[in-house]
Each structure stands twice: as C-alpha cells, then as structure tokens.
Amino acid sequence: MKLTARKIAEALNGTVEGNAEIVVSSLSKIEEGKPGTLSFLANPKYTSHIYHTQASIVIVNKDFVATEKINATLIRVGDPYSAFADLLEMYQQSKGKPSGISVKAAIDPTAVVGKDVYIGDFVSVGEYAVIGDGCFLYPNTAVGRHCKVGENTTLYAGVKVYDDCIIGNKCTLHAGVVIGADGFGFAPQQNKNYRKVPQIGNVVIEDNVEIGANTCIDRATLGSTRIRKGAIIDNLVQIAHNVEIGENTAVAAQTGISGSTRIGSHCVLAGQTGFAGHLNIADGTIVTAQSGVGRNIKTENTVYEGSPAFKHKDFQKSYIHFRRLNDLVNRVNELENKLKKLTTQ
C-alpha cells in the first residue's frame, strides 16, 4: 500500500510539514526508520531519534517543537499514538482476510451460522450453537453446544469455547484461549482425598473484549463468570470461576484471579499480580506488577503495591527501610555488643 504524506494527513485530520507528495509503502519504528517508511513519535523518551531517523514521514504531536534539523516530513496530529494505531488498522485491512466455510469444518446441522463468516479447516461447531454475522473462526477452533458467538467476533486458531458459553459482538480471542473450562472446585474429604464439585455455570463475555493467547477463563460453579464490555486481557492470564471483570479494565500477562472475586471498572492489573478469592476491588484501582492482593480494596482510584499489597505511597516509604534493613541489623548487633561490654564492666 503506497500513500503520500498528503493522503495520510487527510485520513488522520493532520497537517503536513515538509514534502506533501513524498510516498511511503511500509511502517517502521522511529529508531529503525528507513527511506520509504512511516513512523511516529509519541513517547518523549524517543525524541532524540527524530533528528537521525531515515524514515520518510514521522507522525508527531501538533505541539511538537524541534530543536534540531529534521530531514523527515512531519504530519502533526492531536494524538500520534492513536493516529498510528488508525494507520496500522488501515494497513491490516488492506491485507485482506480469509472467507468462506471450509469443507473440512464440522458444523452440527442444528447450529445457526450467520452471513459473511469465515470458518477454517477442522473447526467444530456444536449442537444449537449460534455464530453471528461476520465472524472469523480460524482453524482448529471448537465452539461447544448451545454457545453463542456475537457478530464480527474473531476466534483465532485453537480457541476452545466450552458448552453454554456466550461471547459478545466485536470480540477478539487469540490463539489457544480456553473459555468455560471447569472451575477449580474440589471438596476435601475425610480420607484426605478431594471430591470434584460439578461446575454447571458458564462464562459470559460482553462486547468489545480482547483476550490474549493461552488465557483461561473458567466457568462458574453456579451462575456466570463475567467479563464486562471493553475489558482487555493479556496473554497467559488465569481467571477463576464466578469472577467478574469490570468494564474497560486492563489485565496484564500472568495475572491470576481466584474464584468469586469482583474486579471493578477501569482498573489496571499489572503483570504477575495475584488476587485471593471472594474479594471486591473498587473501580479505578491500579495494582502494580508482582503484587499480591489478599483483602478488599474499597477506595476508588487508588494504587496498591507489594505482597501483601498496600497503598503505593506507604509501600514506597516502607521500601526505604526495607533496603536499609541489613545496615540496621548490623547497627543493632553493634549496639548490643557495646551494651554487653558496658554491663560486664
């Protein structure tokens, strides 16, 4: 796809500074820019690269002020990162998508399949399942009995959706996602064995949710495990039975959320965070990486850190003492030795 700076600016409602007719045919990172490519500058940490990049066009903030000569043509926009995301989407769409239903797919006669869908090789669609218009089911995907997949939703290769689960419109589930496996419900017995507790609920994923590769979301014991609209979930996340993830909440990789915990709306859970079960986490909560949350968070829009996690500012103050702990121990030992000598004398 070849575009001039003028055409790109028109698409992004931006203004051109430089050669409006220069042509680009691919995209690049600003520090690795090459002639004929388009890049962007959104993070101030990368500002130095704009003065040396070989990229032909760079998207910058409308308020950007250069302190040195820039060889590239600039396109000034309100939000460079969002503008570049728009271009990536345009580029992806230009590559086209697969279409049609493979003869190697196994679709139960009772299933309902919408219009303009793609169903790849070895896809399985179970009894009375509903696949909405415009869906993409890539090879080796399995959709169980009585499931519903909303319109314009994409299930990439190897996604497994167990019976009775519901996925909304415009969702994206990346390769290897498992929706609706049994929750981790086992009752201890007197003989020290475990008895499995049947998990008869389901998973409900609302509209515009994206779920990363190899993430697992367990079905509820009763009722539904629920992912609210607009949530974004990274790769390798474990969400247990009866959990609720609020609207527009972001969950980073390797996070684990135990059963029946409710995460509020607009929260950010950084990588490798862990949550005990039966908790309520207030809207707007931010939990920093590798933190462990073992109690309710009741105050909205707060930041928590540590394991066990407590408020970020208190953690930072405490961390000063953590780092000095060895010195403090040595000083106490020294004082004890001096006190012992004085007592002996």
User: Looking at the annotation, which residues are catalytic?
Assistant: 241
CB 90 within 8 Å of CB 24: no
Residue 318 to residues 101, 137, 138, 325, Cα–Cα distance (Å)? 59, 50, 50, 11
Q: In angstroms, rounded to a whole number, what is the distance separating the alpha carbons of residues 179 and 224?
A: 12
CB 281 within 8 Å of CB 303: no
List Cβ neighbours of 311 (8 Å cut-off, separation of 6 or more): 302, 303, 304, 305
Q: Strand pairing partners for 38?
A: 27, 57
DSSP string, 231-261: -EE-SS-EE-TT-EE-TT-EE-TT-EE-TT-
- Give exposure, 40-76, as e/b (b: 16+ Cβ within 10 Å): bbbeeeeeebbeebebbbbbbbeebeeeeebebbbbb
Measured in degrees and rounded to the nearest 5, phi and psi for residue 204 equal: -120, 120
CB 275 within 8 Å of CB 261: yes
Angle, helices 312-323/325-344, rounded to nearest 10 degrees: 50
Residue carrying the six token digits 């196994």 = 106
- H helix or E strand, kind and range, residue 166: strand 166-167
CB 24 within 8 Å of CB 57: yes
Residue carrying the six token digits 């009585």 = 146
Measured in degrees and rounded to the nearest 5, phi and psi for residue 181 equal: -65, 160
